Structure 1
Amino acid sequence: MEKNGQKKTDPADSWDVEEDAVITPEDEEVEDAEFTEGEATPKVSKKKVVKVEENRSKREHVNVVFIGHVDAGKSTIGGQIMSLTGMVDKRTLEKYEREAREKSRESWYLSWALDTNQEERDKGKTVEVGRAFFETDRKHFTILDAPGHKSFVPNMIGGAAQADLAVLVISARKGEFETGFDRGGQTREHAMLAKTAGVKHLVVLVNKMDDPTVNWDQTRYNECKDKILPYLKKLGFNPAKDLTFMPCSGLSGYGLKDQISETLCPWYRGPAFIPFIDELPSLNRKSDGPFIMPIVDKYKDMGTVVMGKVESGTARKGQNLLVMPNRTSVAVDQLFSDDYEVTSVGPGENVKIKLKGIEEEDVSPGFVLCDATNPIKTGKIFDAQVVILEHKSIICAGYSAVMHIHCAAEEVTVKALICLVDKKTGEKSKTRPRFVKQDQVAIMRIECSGMICLEQFKLFPQMGRFTLRDENKTIAIGKVLKVVE
């Protein structure tokens, strides 16, 4: 403890921080100029400090994850939105278009705004969760472009764990919707994972409406809608409150920023996508609680930088925090909210935080950055209520799978089955079941292979819901009832 105290009072240290915070390339020129004239410079710095003092984004932050089957058009819609809101300039897009034409992939150029690495561009498949942002007058949206391919579902879960709003993209093109929605397609699994990740609202974009096989045909739109609606209801989405369907075309941009013209689509007179999500009611964020941010990713950049979404509380520059479950003390060196440097961050923001006091190799995705005085719970054994969604054989004690909870993936084993829960009445069985099978709900004791950060679902839903996956399939979803220390 003394060390920390010392650090704070050492004037040299605090001066460094001030200097770091304030010197920008423009200032450096000013300082040099002033030195040549033989004048003192701290004045400049001091003025700047005042300016830096309260620097954080004013607009409400909303994280939007784009999910759906391979080739439904998620990255293209994301790229088109960035182009329509002026986040990618015309010249860059023309460059992408040229490069795409050289590879005879003209229709992919918009997705290159989000699929930035070479492998993703060559194959036309998103692998990692792409990130970008765009702003309206009222809100700041972070786009999380999730991969559609079933081999990359673990990456997609990491993206959905950070989202407040999910956009399920389905292709109206003949045959493509069916492939995505039938067994083995990713449309079902993604919708379900979004629900478990705690997404508040789901927008279903019926894309490729301008395709020659569709040509803005209302019957095709309704067919796609009617097929998928019962499944979404079964997952627990309420069509009246948290579910919206819209036709659009990602490639031409119709239906994204402006309402579709009446000549093209006389039967849909609803709002376009961007104005609609801009009008959605504000999310209630916990800004007064202790600071909690699950770490999604990390990298080295003159220090250790961690990325993630702030789930609760606020953090400021220079603050001391803990990295759990390792209990490493760290200090906040720099804060970035969607690539802009700020002095403090709050709930709902997608941030990068540069830390002092920890090496990059000592951090793993799934660790949690939290308040030093009020750290998050950690444990290896916990009781949970689990719904078995899709599993051919039975599950009994000793069964193991991979658990995804917030941003962490950990191997777990079922230690004991405690009781079954009746789906309709919620009553618990008096006797211990010997096994559970598909469509049953059970309370079980689960053991993790290592220490993880988790919280009771009813205290902190974001840190208490999880999915179990086995052999590349999501087999169950669950919530943590209690952590057995």
Structure 2
Amino acid sequence: MAASEVVDGMQRLQVEDDSGPATSSPETLRNINIVFIGHVDAGKSTLCGHLLYLTGNLDERTLEKYEKEAKSKGRESWKFAWALDLTEQERSKGKTTDYGVASFRTRTKHITIIDAPGHKAYVPAMISGTGQADVAILVISARKGEFEAGFERGGQTREHAMLAKTAGVRQLVVVVNKMDEPTVQWSQERFRDICDKLTPFLKQIGYRPQELSWVPVSGYSGENLRERVSPSVCSWYRGGSLLEVLDALKLPPRPLDVPVRMTVVDKFREMGVCILGKVESGIVRNGDRLLLMPPRLAVQVAGITVDAEEVPAAEPGDNVKLLVKGVEEDDIHPGQVLCAEDAPVEATTVFDGQIMLVEHKSILTAGYRCVAHIQAAAVEVVFERLLAEVDRRTNQIAKKYPKFVRPGSTFIARLAVAQPVCVTPFKDFAPLGRFMLRDEGTTIGAGVVLRIPGQRIVSGVKGATDSSSSEAAMT
């Protein structure tokens, strides 16, 4: 995709005219979850805070308070960021350390925004936030030197984009921020240069042109956020504002008529035991009895909250707070899954996965250990056996039982974890069939679950059978 296609008015998502039909009531709005990702200091938190302000979710008095406090610290430009950077550590250093969540409404959608940290030290929190998203906004700083720092080796732009794709985020909005900065001044040439460098990489990791949208903005001044940027400021951009693009996003499919699956992100105590998570499939209703997997504990839903409002039911895509009975707070851990009693998800200590090794300091052999991120769970994993090397062009087995694999290769391996985790074959249920591999603070690979060998299920759902069945199926 040529950069000229981007700047000559292309919008990969059709933007509706302002004269289109307005939504009749908040109840008709469909929910969509959007995560803001990108290199540190790209302006993600400021962008999120300004969107909240423009949509009426950050009032003038609170903004003035933030501005006064930020000014006293010599950081007046951080006033919008403080809407989501709430801790003293985040505010004093100007770095998001955990993901923040807020929401606003457009004409057609209820949008939940997730502000993910951009610093390399907080990638696990970024992964947890991205796991709850349907769409990602990749925020790029147009300031001279900052885009290059994020995109070149060691920057987080590449890693965040790849992690979003691995997490199943199919739509990506590339927001080129800080276009009003003195080194940029809404330069068409700078915008084109960024597009030209990013496009091949995004294509390489799997994003198709129709899944991408490109928007130049200023997160601090607010230009091209709600209202389209004035031609007197930027004469070459003919696309929609960021809110118009978000309003036109395609909603992902919502699997309603299937068993309940809800991934657990966090827990806390508030008038009882509460679970935070995202409903992946099915409908969770107040009063439902569900299973917490593992360790197969029965729980009853005593209350459902979405965006601080109590609701009778939650649907796929909703990030919810459940008040539950039947379990203690210590029984709940990130990465567990709430599921239907009559159709529990599998929990196992071993699975076979197809992995793309993108970065590693040397060859990888059986016995190698690293950390696997499966939804919100982060578990140590060991490569028990390398089963096959795969030809990336044909996706066919090129070599059986290799002794080692090199960076850049795709292969099938048997992975084992010390504690049971909830996974499913990717072809059966994609949200629980993806995982990411990290070691020494670096993402080294991404993969999908192919099968659970021999149905070695530890949850009591299925009994053990021949453990060689996976190798037989692979051959």
Q: TM-score, normalised by structure 1?
A: 0.87
In structure 2, distance between residues paired with 1:382 and 1:140: 37
Q: Identify the match of residue 59 of structure 1 among 22, 29, 34.
A: 29
Find the counterpart in structure 2 of residue 92 from structure 1: 62
Cα pair distance change 1:104/1:430, threshold 3 Å: closer
Q: How does 1:70-469 map to 2 (within 5 A)?
A: 70-239=40-209, 241-469=210-438
Aligned residues: 429
Secondary structure of 2:180 counterpart: coil
Q: Which amino acid aligns with 1:318?
A: G
Assess if the C-alpha contact under 8 Å between 2:32 and 2:251 holds in 1. Answer: no
SS across alignment from 2:397: coil
SS class of match (2:150): helix
How far 1:217 sits from its partner (Å)? 0.7
Secondary structure of the structure 1 residue equivalent to 2:89:
helix
Give the deviation of 1:197 after TM superposition.
Answer: 0.5
Q: Once the 2 structures are TM-superposed, how far is the Cα of residue 137 of structure 1 from its aligned partner? A: 2.4
Using the alignment, how far apart are the partners of 1:270 and 1:137 within structure 2? 18
Matched, 1:482 2:434: no
**Structure 1: gaps spanning 5 or more residues:** 1-55
Moved more, 266-275 or 422-431: 422-431
Is this contact kept in 1: 2:266–2:276, CA < 8 A? yes
In the alignment, the residues of structure 1 paired with residue 100 and residue 286 of structure 2 have an alpha-carbon distance, to the nearest angstrom, of 27
Match of 1:30 in 2: none
CA distance in 2, matches of 1:303, 1:376: 25
CA offset at residue 357 of structure 1?
1.0
Q: Given residue 261 of structure 2, which amino acid in structure 1 is its aligned partner?
A: I
Radius of gyration: which is bigger?
1
Distance of 2:133 and 2:251 partners within structure 1: 14
Which residue identity is paired with 1:184? G
**Match of residue 463 from structure 2:** none
Which residue of the partner structure matches residue 4 of structure 1?
none
* Alpha-carbon displacement from aligned partner over 1:201-222 (angstroms, at most 9, x marks no partner): 0000000000011111111111
Runs of 4+ residues over 2 Å off in structure 1: none
SS at match of 2:436: strand
Contact 2:104-2:112 within 8 A present in 1 as well: yes
C-alpha deviations, 1:454-485, integer Å up to 9, x for none?
Answer: 11100111110110000000001000000122
Q: Percent identity?
A: 51
Deviation string 1:153-173 (CA, Å, 9 cap, x unpaired) is 001000111100000001000
After TM superposition, give the deviation of residue 58 of structure 1 in Å. Answer: 3.8
Aligned 8 A contact 2:384 2:414 in 1: yes
TM-score, length-normalised on structure 2? 0.89
Q: Which residue is 1:27 aligned to?
A: none
1:472 to 422, 432, 441: 441
- Give the partner amino acid of 1:364: H
Asked if the contact 2:267–2:329 (Cα under 8 Å) also holds between the matched residues in 1, the reply is yes
Distance in structure 1 (CA, Å) of the matches to 2:107 and 2:176: 26
Q: Supply the distance in 2 between the matched residues of 1:266 and 1:298 (Cα, whole angstroms).
A: 49
Provide the rounded CA distance (Å) in 1 between the counterparts of 2:377 and 2:280.
15
Deviation at 1:408, TM superposition (A): 0.9
Q: Check conservation: 2:390, 2:399, Cα contact below 8 A.
A: no
Deviation at 1:430, TM superposition (A): 4.6
Instruction: Identify the structure with the greater helix proportion.
Output: 1
Q: Deviations over 1:216-241 (max 9, x none)?
A: 111111111111111111001112x1
SS in 1 for 2:394: coil
CA positional deviation for 1:145:
0.3
CA distance in 2, matches of 1:365, 1:336: 19
Please give the alpha-carbon distance, in whole angstroms, between the structure 2 residues aligned to 1:290 and 1:139. Answer: 26
| C-alpha distance in 1 between matches for 2:27 and 2:305 | 10
**Structure 1 residues 346-381: Cα deviation after superposition (integer angstroms, max 9, x where no partner):** 101111101111111111111111111111111111
Deviation of 1:431 after TM superposition, in Å, equals: 3.1
The residue matched to 1:466 in structure 2 has which SS? strand
- Separation in structure 1 between the aligned mates of residue 251 and residue 79 of structure 2, nearest angstrom: 33
CA–CA separation in structure 2 for the residues paired with 1:59 and 1:357? 33
2:368, 2:349 → 1: CA distance?
Answer: 16
Give a deviation string over 1:3-61, Cα, whole Å, max 9, x none. Answer: xxxxxxxxxxxxxxxxxxxxxxxxxxxxxxxxxxxxxxxxxxxxxxxxxxxxx954211
Q: Tell me, yes or no, if the aligned pair for 2:293 and 2:337 is still in contact at 8 Å.
A: yes
CA deviation string 1:355-411 (max 9, x = no partner)? 111111111111111111111111111111000001120111100110001111110
- Paired residue type of 1:424: R
C-alpha distance 430-127 of structure 1, shift in aligned 2 (>3 A)? closer
Structure 1 pair 431/350, CA: closer, same or farther in 2 (3 Å)? closer
Deviation string 1:240-260 (CA, Å, 9 cap, x unpaired) is x10111100000111111110
